[in-house]
Amino acid sequence: MSGPVTIRPVEQADLPGFHAVMMAAGMDPRSSWNRTTLTDLERSLFGADSGGFIAELENAGVVGCVGYRPDGTQTLTLNKLATRPEVRGQGLGARLVQAVESHASRAGYARVLLAVSQFNQDVIPFYIRLGYARSEEPYAHANPASPAPVVFVKNLGTPARAS
């Protein structure tokens, strides 16, 4: 990366940049990820208690993104993590995951859950390095037209939110 990277909460005006990073990520064409529209993103990122973060590189715009949404009172689900290929391997993905984990802790969630597409299993070691463990629980947001994803969970040690 050349220049400082800023990670900040996503705003409505960031939707095109967020979407562009997702599409540049190089996901397997069979994945439902590739069919994500701006309307889908808006619904996912700006629903109740949902949100996300973008990473901006000075003079290069949005180079990374991640979303999150609540799944009950104790689980925050991380989704849509992507970085542009040219900035991979420099810690940006980990910083975006940490931004979601920090948000989850501050908001009182006890854990972060994520699902890895069957078409993207090369990322599993990345999540294991970040302290995520495989779970056998079903993924509530699975696309019924796609194979079941691999679910990972990280306990944050945060007291559960009141129901």
Q: Regarding beta strands 133-135 and 150-155, do their DSSP bridges make them parallel or antiparallel, or are they unpaired?
A: antiparallel
Q: Does the predicted TM-score (pTM) go above 0.85?
A: yes
Give 45-63 pLDDT, tens digit per residue.
998 889 999 998 877 789 9
Rounded to the nearest 5°, which phi and psi values hold at 43? -60, -40
Per the model's pLDDT, the better-predicted residue between 20 and 117 turns out to be 20
* Helix, strand, coil % over all residues of the chain, rounded to 5: 30, 30, 40
Question: How far, in Å, CA of 133 to CA of 114, rounded?
Answer: 10
How much is the mean pLDDT over the chain?
88
Q: CA-based Rg of the chain, rounded to a whole angstrom?
A: 15
Q: What is the pLDDT of residue 134?
A: 96
Question: How far, in Å, CA of 48 to CA of 107, rounded?
Answer: 13
Per the model's pLDDT, the better-predicted residue between 11 and 160 turns out to be 11
Cβ distance 133 to 153 under 8 Å? yes
Q: Is the dihedral of CA 23, 28, 33, 34 positive or negative?
A: positive
**Residue written as token pair 């990280």:** 154
Question: How far, in Å, CA of 84 to CA of 88, rounded?
Answer: 7
| Domains parsed from the chain with CATH numbers | 5-155 (3.40.630.30)
Residue 148 pLDDT exceeds 90: no
Closest CA to 146 of 18, 44, 35: 35
The three-state secondary structure class of 11 is coil
Spacing of C-alpha 66 from chain mean position: 4
Residue 74 pLDDT exceeds 60: yes
Q: What is the pLDDT of residue 162?
A: 57
